[in-house]
Amino acid sequence: MSKLAVITGGTRGIGRALLERFALAGFDLATCSRNTDELTRQTAEVRLKYGVATHVMQADLSDPEQAERFTSFVSALDLPVDVLVNNAGYFEPGKVSEEAKGILERMIQTNLYSAYYTTRGLIGGMKKRQAGHIFNMCSIASIMAYPNGGSYSISKFALLGFTKVLREEMKPFRIRVTAVLPGATRTPSWDGVDLPDERFMKASDVAEAVFGAYSLSSQSVVEEILIRPQLGDI
């Protein structure tokens, strides 16, 4: 039976790079996105390139009901989840004192609640098997406040806190839990920014770091992956 990696928000940037890296290792994939056309196109490319099964569903995981439908969809595959990467996220710059009404709620719903409800929906099977690895895609913004970080930073600090709690809870079940804290990575979120590519990390480097942490023996866990551009934070 092939291993299954569940990667939320898998159509672009780090999510797409993660799909490619786990597909390269022979994993079957389950993913979701809000954009149906992009989801279908991107996963078809991965399936054809690597010859793995791809299970896809359109879903906005900031909505708990849609997150529940997605985890039910994955559970119905009747495949053990070896890897869960909570990658779905949303970035909007701004200052706490100036950002538009509702920004905090949207950031928390997308960057925190999506991971919370997806994890709750899939972790039961991992606990029964006492196996699996959960990665939460945090950020440099999870540990370092910066101007114009606003509610994004708040949500990412919260996601790191959730990850730390989950790590402690899952120790008795032999489930590994890792926080991934990437710095500026060349993804569509940075489109239009007038900076050279050398100031950014490659999404494939983040995916490689995640896969490397997964590849350790079950006796070890990388609790945090902190990765920054070689030339420093932007």
Q: What is the pLDDT of residues 109-162, one digit of tens each?
A: 999 999 999 999 999 999 999 999 999 999 999 999 888 899 999 999 999 999
Task: State both tokens at 195.
Answer: 């900076």
Q: Which residues, listed in sequence order, are joined to residue 85 by a DSSP beta bridge?
A: 7, 135
Residue spans per domain, the chain? 4-227
State pLDDT tens for residues 83-97.
999 999 988 889 999
Nearest in space to 71 (alpha carbons), one of 102, 116, 103: 116
State pLDDT tens for residues 173-210.
999 999 999 998 988 767 777 788 888 999 999 999 99
- Tokens 């101007």 found at: 147
Q: Which CATH class is domain 4-227?
A: alpha beta
Please give the span between the terminal C-alpha atoms of the chain, in angstroms, as a whole number.
43
Rounded Cα distance between 113 and 133, Å, is: 19
Nearest in space to 133 (alpha carbons), one of 207, 32, 218: 218
Q: pTM for the full model?
A: 0.95
